[in-house]
Amino acid sequence: MSQFLASAADAGIRIDRFLATRFSTESRTSIRKWLEKDFVLINGRPAKPSYKLRQGDRVEVTTIPERHLEAPALIPWNYSLEILFEDESLIAVNKPAGVIVHPGAGVHDRTVAHAVLYYHPEIRNVGHPGRPGVVHRLDKETSGILLLAKTQEIYLKLVTLFKDRKIEKHYRAMVFGKMVKAHGRIEKALGRDPSDRKKISVRATKKRPAITLYRVLKSYDFGALLDVRILTGRTHQIRVHLSSENHPIIGDTKYGGGNWDRISNLELRNQWKSGGFFGLHAYSLDFEHPATGKLLHLQAELPAAWNWEC
């Protein structure tokens, strides 16, 4: 059984939405079924999905999937993170490529979440216990800006901002292939690849809408550097969308970007290939600060390997 005590920041939030932030890997449909089957009690009584929490409410989830019953204790990791912005509410870091955001299948240590805990142990109780403070994700291979909340109140507000698409996200993508158009819009629904569940595909049977905008910043003989903005946040969205347009991310072997011979510059080809170059970087976030109301522009400069012309 899992238990929570509603704080002042939780007051007025619907119970189904509250539980969705605590069990973020579960769908809203699953959580509603918990409520319909009386698996969720508030102050000892069954609750409806529309119930709005009051400060001091005791929330008990009596029957949940086994993977949620015992969250592993995260051991802080003494790892130097590049801090892009920090105040009493939130922290933004420049995640290096190759570092995982939070523990998952087969990964139990040396993630960004472990590193942040080393410097801010108070974040341990913010959000999901298995990924404290984390409000969005980046693939392991992707570098760039990652936002974490430092308090539960800010965590819930940031989750809502992402859900309501009120945070503008821009990426830099280095892709193969000559771009015919200087800018474009890719609107293709995405879902699990029916032949490989570890991959995402535009040919999936069950799909969700996904929209990606791109603009060419520089062109090269092997491809282009793009500014990419996503209007939805689907798994592997940019990688799959660009690959579906025959412009795979350079270095993305999962989605067709592993043909290094397409780079005629031998020195660059060897540098990127041997260094494990992956051409996707979370470049900037623009949003209204959930505590101060001020507009924030957060930016993570490109890794050194991207500046090969200099």
Q: Which residues are known catalytic residues?
A: 139
Q: What Rg value do the Cα atoms of the chain yield, rounded?
A: 21
Helix (H) / strand (E) element for 240: namely helix 237-244
Distance (Å, whole) CA 122 – CA 133: 10
Please name the residues in contact with 248: beta carbons below 8 A apart, sequence gap of 6 or more: 175, 176, 177, 239, 242, 255, 256, 257
By DSSP bridging, strand 223-230 and strand 211-219 are antiparallel
Which residue's entry shows tokens 């910043």? 217
Please name the residues in contact with 259: beta carbons below 8 A apart, sequence gap of 6 or more: 176
Distance (Å, whole) CA 207 – CA 205: 6
Query: Measuring CA to CA, which residue among 170, 173, 167 is closest to residue 283?
Result: 170
CB of 43 closer than 8 Å to CB of 22:
no
What b/e string do you get for 213-226 counting C-beta neighbours within 10 Å, with b at 16 or more? bbebeeebebbbbb
Total H helices, total E strands in the chain? 6, 15
Task: Give the 3-state secondary structure of residue 45.
Answer: strand
